[in-house]
Amino acid sequence: MSAVVPGLALGALTASGCVWYVPALVDLRAGADRPVSRRLAALACLSGWGTAGLAAALLLTGAPLTVAGAGMLACVALRLAAWVRARGEAREDAACWAALDARPDVRHAPHRVVGAIIAVGLTLATATGMALTWVHARGALGAAPVVAAPVALAACTLAAAVVTVRGRGGVGVWLRWTDGGGEGG
């Protein structure tokens, strides 16, 4: 097999990796608004995807891939540095919370309640769909209920999640909670 096929495949994979490297570019562009660990992780992401793009170009031209190996080493080194720095930042945050003797109240966190409602409801909708598909395969049920019942359950689940968020104060409670003030704080 020619090196063109893997080169084109790697080029397509690199182009589809934009879901990772575009947010990494945004993190770097934000500068000091992001923690150092996050910026290091963004650099690691960009160096990894840049190396993949470079490897695709090298495969298409037939050049040796030694430069790509150096790029991967840089990616791994940056990612390890980001991990070490993130652990240090987490320890620093824990020390700050301990000094304040205050912790965010996570027992009634709105995202956990809404997440639980969505998880249970969508699991129920999936199980219902599977059961109705099994019954339909045996000829005991038409096609309309097989589609309508899970869709109705999923819609009710999402409606319950929206009602729950609105009943808990909506976005305002969420923003106060994410700022570290706890629910309603």
171 vs 51, higher pLDDT = 51
Contacts of 164 (CB under 8 A, 6+ apart): 110, 113, 114, 117
Q: Which one, of 119, 110, 107, lies nearest residue 164 by Cα?
A: 110
**pLDDT at position 84:** 94
**CB neighbours of residue 106 within 10 Å:** 11
Please indicate, yes or no, whether residues 65 and 123 belong to a single structural domain of this protein. Answer: no
Q: Which of 69, 100, 131 is the last residue of a domain?
A: 100
Q: What is the pTM of this model?
A: 0.52
Query: Tell me: the pLDDT tens digits for 70-87?
Result: 888 999 999 999 999 999
Spatial separation of the C-alpha atoms in residues 175 and 165, rounded to whole Å:
12
**pLDDT band at residue 167 using 50, 70 and 90 as cut-offs:** low
Residue 32: inside a domain: yes
Residue range of the domain that includes 133: 110-181
**pLDDT at position 109:** 58
Please indicate, yes or no, whether residues 166 and 81 belong to a single structural domain of this protein. Answer: no
Query: Tell me: the pLDDT tens digits for 3-47?
Result: 788 888 888 888 888 888 899 999 999 989 999 999 999 999 999
Please indicate, yes or no, whether residues 8 and 90 belong to a single structural domain of this protein. Answer: yes
Residue 83: inside a domain: yes
Residue 105: inside a domain: no
Please indicate, yes or no, whether residues 10 and 93 belong to a single structural domain of this protein. Answer: yes
Q: Which of 58, 81, 100 is the last residue of a domain?
A: 100
Tokens of 41: 């992780």
Please indicate, yes or no, whether residues 172 and 91 belong to a single structural domain of this protein. Answer: no
124 touches 156 (CB < 8 A): no
Tokens of 12: 């397509």
86 vs 153, higher pLDDT = 86
Q: Evaluate if residue 164 carries a pLDDT over 50.
A: yes
Residue 29: inside a domain: yes
Q: Which of 68, 100, 132 is the last residue of a domain?
A: 100
Query: Tell me: the pLDDT tens digits for 102-152?
Result: 665 555 556 667 777 777 877 777 778 777 777 777 777 777 777 777 778
Please indicate, yes or no, whether residues 94 and 128 belong to a single structural domain of this protein. Answer: no
What is the length of the chain? 185
Domain count, the chain: 2
Please indicate, yes or no, whether residues 21 and 88 belong to a single structural domain of this protein. Answer: yes
